[in-house]
Structure formats: structure tokens, C-alpha cells
Structure 1
Amino acid sequence: MAGQIIPIVMPKWGLEMREGTVQDWLVKEGKRIEVGEALVDVDTDKISNAVEAADAGLLRRIVAQSGETLPVKALLAVLADNDVSDAEIDAYIAAYEVPAADSDDEDAGPQFQYADVDGIRVRYAKRGPEHGTPVLFIHGFGGDLNNWLFNLDAVAEKHPVIALDLPGHGQSEAKLPGASIAALADFVLKFLRAADVNGPAHLVGHSMGGAIAIQMAAAAPGQVASLALVSPAGLDTAINSGYTDGFVQAQSRRELKPVLEQLFANPELVNRQMIDDMLKFKRMDGVEPLLAELGAALFANGRQSAVLADELEQFGKPVLVFWGKEDQVIPSTQANKAPSSAQVVLFDATGHMAMLEKASEVNAALQRHLAAG
């Protein structure tokens, strides 16, 4: 459309993001941008990621400079065709106001909700439409619902989304329903009922959360519409206990940093805030002994105690598996244990956290999987 000016703004990644710091621009003024093209790297207090173009057009003006920290929805750049004058662009930039924080979330309900499940208080988040088959995201050992910060809103465009903090993780209570995959799976099934999910749900599980999802499908197949698994535990015995034990035992930033770096193909993704957040979590009352108990039960001596490949083979509904070829926690060769009917996606230059490291590709494949399922 002649005369149209399209803003590129600071995205909101995840439920808690309030601002981001502009790093390096990956494109130059005067370039014609395609939808999905990476434009600029932004650093948040959780992780760095590239802002991708939601619209195609000519990049006429870069507004935000490297090193600037800006709130969500602040103007980063402007797309406009050559028939828009520089004066019009100047006027647009001068008049641009950052919308009030969360102004588009007023009708979305509270950011976080809490449920009591078997006497354990659980934090969770709901996003997306009210109707449709819900998608439940289950994080891994030592993680929380923020592990899905690049994925929840993308899936919530078309599907109801729920993400929880497992017992003893995130801001859920530091209590375990049992230190086994079976006990955790039973707990999450009860959580779904507490969250008013009475029909089947699509399950998306990462690492330990993947094993929990497989066990849920085996225990209650009628409650599970499909499975999407990111570097899942539960397919074979091997696991890097140097990571799991190291995570439990680390007491300082210096000790924890090299442990967390094992999660990513690019260790620079582990920033100071991520390390500080993890230390803060580990120092919460009761968390460290709980993690030690869980790690010893599930991953002792570099072996997974729950191997569920046969159960997954018998599931009989759509299964999607993602794995980073440089996964240092659970070997990507275990993807060979996925059912022959499963769709398996292997990523180059990617570690244990494909949903963060390859968010766009994971989201696109996940949306196709959910549409088919």
C-alpha cells in the first residue's frame, strides 16, 4: 500500500519480559526484508535471540542503536517503500509512543495462576483462545515454564496453551509427589484436571519433561492427543551425569556457569542473569535436597532409570521429536529410538535447548504438528 509505514518493535518474549538490549543489527538500511528474516539480536535477562520480521518491506530507517535498552514495543526500525518521504518517516518516528506495558493483555487473565494438587502448590500460565484442544508444555530437570519463553505465544496464536512449573521447580512448592517419572506423570495428569482440562491435551515435553509426557501417554492415552518431545529423556539409558550432578552441586556463579554452558551449542547464550536466576532458585528453602533426591533417583551414574521407548512405540498417535546434534546432556543418537512413524527433526549447531536455540524452526514444525493432530 502506497504511503504505508510499518513499525518493527521490541518483541515480548515470554511472560516476564519487560525490556531488551539491542545488540547487533544483522541488516542494513535500504535492504528489502522478507518475512521471517533475522533483523537484530536482542539480549534479555533470560537469553539472547534475533528479532525476525513479521512483515516484508524496505528497511528505511534503523531507530534503535546497539547498546540501547528499550521497553517491550519500543520502536526499533521502520519499513516503508520509496514513495514515503524521509519527512514522513521523521514525523512518524517523532510521534511514536510506546504503548502501555501489557495493554494488550488486559483481557488475557492473570499472568500466572496457582493450583493445589495433592497438597502441592503449583504455578502455571494459560495463554491463547479458550476453546480447542489445549497444549501443555512440560519443562525439564532444574527448569521452569520460562524455558518455553520463545514458544508459548507462537503456539497460543491458534491453540490454548498451558505451561507449569513442576513440583520443586520455578515458583511451585518445594515438595515432590515422588522421585520417579511415573509419580511425576501421575501428578501432571492430576494437575490437568485442576487446571480445568477434562479432555485430551497435546503434550510438549523437554528432557525430563519429555519422559513425563511419554509416561502420561502410556498411563492415560485417552488424555493425550499427541506428543512433541525436545531432547527427551526416556528413550535410552545414557545421560550426562556431569551435567545433572553438576547442576545440583554447584554453589557459586563460577561453578554453575560451565554447567549451564553444557545446555547450549553456543555457550555465550549463558548470560550473567541466567546464572544468577539459577543460583537464586537453587538457594530457595528445600530446593537443593529435592533436586539431589530427584537427580539420584532418575539419573544416577549416568543412566536413566526410566526407559520408555516401548511405551512410546505403542502410543499410536502423532509424535514429533526435536534434537540438537550437539546435545551434551542426552545424546542425539537416542533419536533413533523414536517410533518409526514419528517425525524426527535434527538441528545442526544446536545443543540440549532446541526450543530456545532454534525457536522459529521448532515453532513452525510444532504448529504443523498440532494442526495435523
Structure 2
Amino acid sequence: MSGPFPHPDATTVDVGGVPLRVRVSGPEDGVPILLIHGIARSLEDWNEAQDLLAVDRRVISTDLPGFGYSRRGRERPGLPAFGRAMVGLLDALGIEAPVHVMGNSLGGGVAMTLAVDHPGRVASVTLVNSVGFGSEVNISPLPMTYGALAALPGLAGRFGAKAREAGAETIRDLFYDRTLATTEQFRHAGKLAKQADFRGTFLGTAATLGAPVVGVRNGWRRELLRRFAATGIPVFVVWGDDDRILPPKHFEAAAAALPKARTHLFVDAGHMPQVEKAEEFAALVGAFVDQVDEDSSVD
């Protein structure tokens, strides 16, 4: 994964009184693209893909409220609140044109929610190993459990090492090529987990989705997919064939749930193909964005 951590180009934008961390790159008059990361992650997950896409497009990545280095908003964390925050961010940046939204994992759920609640703001959606297409999820609660125990007097030595190893294993599971789980990655994740709003945001978000203890609940998934499919917004579903977090059978479920969607399965890639297959990813989604814009101009 290309660094640096944290990215020096990131800045902070006030969104309804909540400071959200954001990175904006590319020409000001370029086609706007919004990149949304997964649960417990940050905008750095898009580093290389953003650089590639921003050659001739206006690309925005952000830390969701309460994750990364963004502060938590006043709303209960979850897809509706995150979706509204993305609208607020676009408003704050003065972006009125419909944007091409790309979401990885939890970010895919946010992207679909944004499209459902504010269809006029969305030109297309690219779902990257997205939540919403199955109940299985492999996000271990152990790092936070051990971390909480390590914070208690006298238990740091006993549980601190376990928290670090559990967290490291979770990061390794993100990739097909585990050499991408570098020391820099571990340090960055550790810093994110120590941010003031992280724990409450993680647990609150997981509770609304039903993960990781009982698996992702069906109710909200079915309703969101029904409403999202009804928007008719162009969609591209991509996945890694060795995803250990959201298994590839979710890709098959996505293709079935969204029969009009374009699809692509990356070979030898895990939960974040935008990292492991950055150049191929950028070429594919860039071509999709261009095609959507060409089709809309004809209409």
C-alpha cells in the first residue's frame, strides 16, 4: 500500500460543526469522484487509487465521522448518519454536480445509502467488496476487547500484547499478499484506534449493522438493496477473489441482487483490491466513470 501515513495533503473541513478530514486532488474542473473507506479505516486506503484517478478527475477521499482522524458527529453512527455527512461534505466543498461514489466495505453501504437518500447527488456507484450482500463477516472484536482490558490498572502487560497481535492479524486478513501488512500499516491502525471517538463509533456502527458478533442482519440489507436497485443509478460491483473479510460468494449475491450492474472479480486480491490492484482498479473504474458520463451526455 502506498503511503504516506497520514497523508500530508489531507486537511479538515467543517461539516455542520463537525471537523471531517478530507483529501482533495486533481483538476478543479474535473469530473468529481468521492471515495469512502471501510469500518475502522481511513482515507489512506485510497492513496494510490486516488493518485491514479486524479490525473484528470477531481477526487475526494474522507475519513467518515468518528473514524480516521475525523471527529464523531452528534448523530448515532451508522449508514444514514454517514450518508448525510457525505452530502454535508460535498456542500462544504461547493460540489453541486452529481458525483461518482466509490465505497469499500462499509463504504459501499454508505455509497448505496447516499444514492438512495440523495439520488440527485450521485452519478454512479462503484461497490468495492461492499457490505450488504451476505451475513458473514470476519472482523474480529478481539483487538478492542483486549485493548479495553489493557487499559485497566495492572493489566497492560497481560493484554496489551494480545491486543496488538489480534489487531495485526486483522490487518493481514485484508490482503491476499500479506506482505502488504507492513509495520507502517500496523502503526497507522494503532494510531487510529487510539483516537478519542474511535471505540464508540466502531461499536455503534457495528451494532446498527449486526456485526461482528451475530453477523450482518438481513433486514436493513434487504431494504437498502431494494431501494438502491430502484434508483436506476449505474453501478459497478468489484471484488477480490480471496477476500477473508466479506467472502467472494457475496460478489455472486451482489450480481444477483443488481442484475444490471457491471461486475469484475480481481484475481489474487483480498478485501481491498484498490490497494492490491491499484492500476487495474483505476483503469477499470475510470473507464466505467467515463462511460457513464458519455451515456448521460447523450441522454
Greater C-alpha radius of gyration: 1
Q: Deviations over 1:315-363 (max 9, x none)?
A: 3132111101111111221223231111111122211111111111111
Amino acid at match of 2:173: Q
Instruction: Compare the two structures and name the one with the higher helix fraction.
Output: 2
Secondary structure of 1:217's partner? helix
Amino acid at match of 2:242: E
| 1:270 matches 2:181 | yes
Partner residue, 1:148: 46
Per-residue deviation at 1:268? 2.4
Amino acid at match of 1:303: V
Per-residue deviation at 1:222? 0.8
Instruction: Compare the two structures and name the one with the higher strand fraction.
Output: 1
Which structure has more RCO (C-alpha within 8 Å, separation ≥ 6)?
2
| 1:292 matches 2:203 | yes
Partner residue, 1:200: 98
User: Does the CA contact (< 8 Å) of 2:240 and 2:267 recur in 1?
Assistant: yes
Partner residue, 1:57: none
User: Does the CA contact (< 8 Å) of 1:176 and 1:290 recur in 2?
Assistant: no
Residues 21-60 of structure 1: matches in 2 within 5 Å?
Answer: none
Per-residue deviation at 1:304? 4.1
Provide the identity percentage: 29
The CA distance in 1 between the partners of 2:146 and 2:26, in whole Å, is: 37
The CA distance in 1 between the partners of 2:117 and 2:36, in whole Å, is: 16
Partner residue, 1:219: 117
Residues 1-373 of structure 1: matches in 2 within 5 Å?
Answer: 13=2, 16=4, 111-175=9-73, 177-240=75-138, 243-249=139-145, 251=147, 252-300=163-211, 301-304=214-217, 306-307=220-221, 308-336=224-252, 337-338=254-255, 339-373=258-292
Please, what is the CA RMSD of the aligned residues?
2.2
User: Does the CA contact (< 8 Å) of 1:138 and 1:204 recur in 2?
Assistant: yes
User: Does the CA contact (< 8 Å) of 2:237 and 2:264 recur in 1?
Assistant: yes
Secondary structure of 2:236's partner? strand
Per-residue deviation at 1:247? 4.9
Amino acid at match of 1:291: F
TM-score (norm 2): 0.83
Amino acid at match of 1:258: E
177-186 vs 246-255, greater mean Cα deviation: 246-255
Secondary structure of 2:137's partner? coil
**Structure 2 gap segments, 5+ residues each:** 148-162, 293-299
TM-score (norm 1): 0.67
